[in-house]
Amino acid sequence: MLHLPKDLILASASPRRIQLLRQVGLEFRAISASIQEEYNGRKPVEFAVDMAVEKASSVAASLEQAIVLAADTIVVLGDKILGKPSDAKEAKEMLHSLSNRLHEVITGYCIYDRPSNNVIKNYELTKVWFRELENEEIESYVNSGSPLDKAGAYGIQDDFGAVFVSRIEGCYYNVVGLPLAKVYNDLKHCIANNVM
């Protein structure tokens, strides 16, 4: 198990990220970061990493000593970024557009140290293939309310969202919301090299 030299703060209220960090035995507390997410024509990886840095910075500013971890997950279909749907109608549109197609899930993350203000930025990309979805499946899933707080309007870990995915290439946990192996190794590297 990883022993951090100071408190770890997760700059997120995401139940999925909270669960993933607990899964690897990390002790932390969560502080929600509220920022405006505006795409502004940036490349997807750049956008996801920038959002993670903004989240980490906004939470770190109120702390004297801590390691802050923030992440931002986006779904990319062709050249279009799919964030969280604003309503059920948009969720259905997103799921129809993902049906029988390949998309990418990108999570940008940032590890921000206080008080040194050292920052580590990184990202993970996973390719995800959807099978062809039936209208009734999309209707039923959206009516459950589950897709409304998820990028791309689905959760690979959901009871029903899981059966939309025919295969993935890359990190599964990245699709859930946090590339665990990469984040864990970056934290380990920080401690070993006294970066934090």
The CATH number of whichever domain residue 40 belongs to comes to: 3.90.950.10
What pairs with residue 113 in β-bridges? 67
If you write DSSP's letter for every residue of the chain in order, what string do you get? ----SS-EEE----HHHHHHHHHTT---EE---------TT--HHHHHHHHHHHHHHHHHTT-SSEEEEEEEEEEEETTEEE---SSHHHHHHHHHHHTT-EEEEEEEEEEEEETT--EEEEEEEEEEEE-PPPHHHHHHHHHTTGGGGSGGG--TTSTTGGGGEEEEES-HHHHHT--HHHHHHHHHHHHHTT--
Average pLDDT score, the chain: 91
- Is residue 147 situated within a structural domain? yes
**What is the reported pLDDT for 196?**
63
What CA–CA distance (Å, rounded) separates 180 from 172?
Answer: 9
pLDDT, tens digit, for every residue of 6-45? Answer: 999 999 988 889 999 999 889 999 999 877 777 777 899 9
The residue-averaged pLDDT of 124-144 equals: 96
Q: Which domain holds residue 54?
A: 8-192
**What is the reported pLDDT for 189?**
83
- Is residue 14 situated within a structural domain? yes
- Is residue 1 situated within a structural domain? no
Q: What positions carry a catalytic annotation?
A: 72
- Is residue 2 situated within a structural domain? no
Nearest to 39 by CA among 86, 81, 85: 81
Q: How many domains does the chain have?
A: 1
pLDDT, tens digit, for every residue of 71-80? Answer: 999 999 998 9
What CA–CA distance (Å, rounded) separates 167 from 155?
Answer: 14
Work out the number of other CB atoms within 10 angstroms of the CB of residue 135.
Answer: 11
Residue 195's pLDDT band (cuts 50, 70, 90): low
Can you give the length of the chain in residues? 196
pLDDT at 2 over 90: no
- Is residue 3 situated within a structural domain? no
**What is the reported pLDDT for 118?**
92
